[in-house]
């Protein structure tokens, strides 16, 4: 028995070791810097690479665990790099122009990219940068200073500082900015109530900056995404008419938080990040969870269709139908004791288009109305 316990403990230690990424070291300008690399277990050919930049005071091992970058690398077939900022007296902090500093983080990140390119087969045409909060500030700086080498950037809750705003971007770059309207740490208008100071350009000014840099014309296309999850948030996408992709995802009621996955929110930043970086625009619908216990037919439909739901442990069924703007166009409440039930819905009095059917258990699927 003791021997068996010892073997099991050794297996557990080995298993946990596979989940824990090893912090690696890279010397830049005489200073030893740290980073974590995540790669898919099995891959052939070149890999796209994502640099994810943490927020103020961030520790990369914590971010690696909290954001589950091992899963992201596996799922997206990317290399994910988490570089560590240096401690500048108030915690780890990227030099993005917020404070006087001689640390060349911009040069460090490019040197790290060069080093990793020499070690791995990286797709240098698919280099992505993303960051949250202070990492979002640094993502903007990287886009401004190295847009000729970076394919796409996603800045979440981070601004362009006045120092960086004085710079002219070296090249147009694909940029997605995401920001919550109720963010009190890095305010939508550029002011931080948490710190009691202005931190940089407001979001509207940031989009003006990138419109000028990317040669945009006209007014943006505005798309309000469906509101199905009852998460208290509204996601509005602005797509600008540019030679290079430029988008703003405005999160109404959003706070200073990374909204991880569409399993919990109408829009998940993880999915948005992938779709934007790979060249796919954010879809006009939220991510749909196709589940065995929600079946719809015929689909496409000319108006009348059937829904079969099954949800063990619940006798209350509620079916809601939404249009692409998130407006509820139909709702049905039924009570039954059987494990499954079929309900018929008639949308023939509604215009052709895409609709979303959501059961009371949270399962959601898409219906196409076409006559």
- Spell out the domain ranges in the chain: 20-277, 294-369
Query: Domain 294-369's class?
Result: mainly beta
The model's pLDDT over 246-301, given as tens digits with 9 standing for 90+, comes to 999 999 999 999 998 777 888 899 989 998 998 753 334 334 444 445 788 898 89
Residue 80's φ and ψ, nearest 5 degrees, are: -115, 125
Q: How far apart are CA 19 and CA 35, in angstroms?
A: 16
Beta-ladder partners of 44? none
Q: Which residues contact 66 (CB under 8 A, 6 or more apart)?
A: none
Q: Which residues contact 137 (CB under 8 A, 6 or more apart)?
A: 94, 96, 97, 98, 131, 155, 158, 159, 160, 161, 199, 200
Question: Which segment of 81-90, 173-182, 322-331 scores lowest on mean pLDDT?
Answer: 322-331
**Cis amide linkage into residue 300, ω under 30° from 0:** yes
Q: How far apart are CA 14 and CA 6, in angstroms?
A: 12
The DSSP call for residue 301 is B
Q: Is the pLDDT of residue 227 over 70?
A: yes
Residue 149 is encoded by which pair of tokens? 């080498």
Which band of pLDDT confidence, cut at 50, 70 and 90, is reported for residue 126?
Answer: very high
Residue 42 is encoded by which pair of tokens? 């099995």
Assessment of whether the complete model's pTM goes beyond 0.85: no
Q: How far apart are CA 257 and CA 185, in angstroms?
A: 10
Q: Is the pLDDT of residue 81 over 70?
A: yes
Q: How far apart are CA 355 and CA 228, in angstroms?
A: 12
For 37-72, letters b (16+ CB in 10 Å) and e give bbbbeeeeeebbbbbbbbbbebbbbebbeebbbbeb
Residue-averaged pLDDT of the chain:
85
What sign does the dihedral 55-56-61-65 (CA atoms) show? negative
Q: Check: CATH 3.40.50.80 for 20-277?
A: no
Q: Is the pLDDT of residue 351 over 60?
A: yes
Kindly calculate the radius of gyration of the chain based on its CA atoms and give it in whole angstroms: 24
Question: Which segment of 17-21, 73-77, 164-168, 193-197 scores lowest on mean pLDDT?
Answer: 17-21
Higher pLDDT, 23 or 4: 23
């Amino acid at each position: 028995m003791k021997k068996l316990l010892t073997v099991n403990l050794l297996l557990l230690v080995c298993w946990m070791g596979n989940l824990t990424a090893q912090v690696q070291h890279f010397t830049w300008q005489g200073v030893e810097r740290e980073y974590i690399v995540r790669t898919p277990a099995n891959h052939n050919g070149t890999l796209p690479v994502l640099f994810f930049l943490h927020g103020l005071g961030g520790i990369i091992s914590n971010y690696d665990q909290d954001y589950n970058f091992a899963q992201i690398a596996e799922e997206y077939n990317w290399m994910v790099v988490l570089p560590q900022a240096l401690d500048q007296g108030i915690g780890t902090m990227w030099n993005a122009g917020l404070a006087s500093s001689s640390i060349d983080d911009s040069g460090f990140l490019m040197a790290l990219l060069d080093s990793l390119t020499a070690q791995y087969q990286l797709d240098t045409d698919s280099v992505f940068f993303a960051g949250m909060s202070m990492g979002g500030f640094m993502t903007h700086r990287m886009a401004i200073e190295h847009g000729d080498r970076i394919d796409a950037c996603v800045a979440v809750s981070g601004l362009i500082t006045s120092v960086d705003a004085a710079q002219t971007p070296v090249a147009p770059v694909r940029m997605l900015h995401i920001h919550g309207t109720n963010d009190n740490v890095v305010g939508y208008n550029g002011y931080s109530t948490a710190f009691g100071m202005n931190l940089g350009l407001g979001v509207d000014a940031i989009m003006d900056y990138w419109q000028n840099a990317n040669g945009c014309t006209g007014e943006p296309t505005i798309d309000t995404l469906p509101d199905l999850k009852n998460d208290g948030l509204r996601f509005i996408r602005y797509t600008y008419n540019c030679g290079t992709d430029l988008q703003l995802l405005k999160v109404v009621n959003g706070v200073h938080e990374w909204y991880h996955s569409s399993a919990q929110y109408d829009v998940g930043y993880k999915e948005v990040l992938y779709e934007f970086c790979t060249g796919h625009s954010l879809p006009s619908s939220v991510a749909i969870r196709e589940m065995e216990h929600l079946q719809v037919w015929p689909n496409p439909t000319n108006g009348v269709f059937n829904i079969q739901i099954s949800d063990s442990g619940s006798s209350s069924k509620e079916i809601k139908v939404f249009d692409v703007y998130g407006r509820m166009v139909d709702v049905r409440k039924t009570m039954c004791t059987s494990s499954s039930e079929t309900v018929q819905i008639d949308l023939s009095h509604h215009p052709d288009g895409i609709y979303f059917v959501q059961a009371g258990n949270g399962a959601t699927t898409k219906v196409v109305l076409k006559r």
